[in-house]
A and B are shown apart, each in its own frame.
Chain A
């Protein structure tokens, strides 16, 4: 069983739709990252959170430590949001090493 599970694996949405990507983990963590990777591109950190909720523009990330679950929401989605979104956790007690989910491929159609 993977320690970090994301759902869905693939997601197709129409422009303007509200999108949710989920991440569940089975290990104790110090923090959780949401990363974005555009096709052929590098990896950008969107959020790092250890509790509660963070918002940046149209993106919102939440985490529930007790339930070991995090969500990434995109409001008013746009074709430029098309990318792979990766959840990564910082394993508690480690040297800050990351364990990654396999990613969610999002395609937003105009």
Chain B
């Protein structure tokens, strides 16, 4: 069975600094996709970044980048130049096609607080 583990329940970072959120996963599938979602307080969950497992190059989206280590089954999120608006719950998620549909599995989340 696939699992997603986020070992840091809470983190804080000073504004303008860099922070890394960790995520590990377990699967025997070879075709899968990884995501980081952000859920600001009382607001909708939105996609931050995604990574296809077949791509070796790490995905980047502006201040957000990932460190994808396929052999280690690790998928960490780096936030550079942290801003107050980055304060949110961050969920790591794994998706694999199963029987004509997609199976998504989420981690427990990391609550990130950016300090002024």
Our verdict on whether A and B bind, yes or no, reads: no
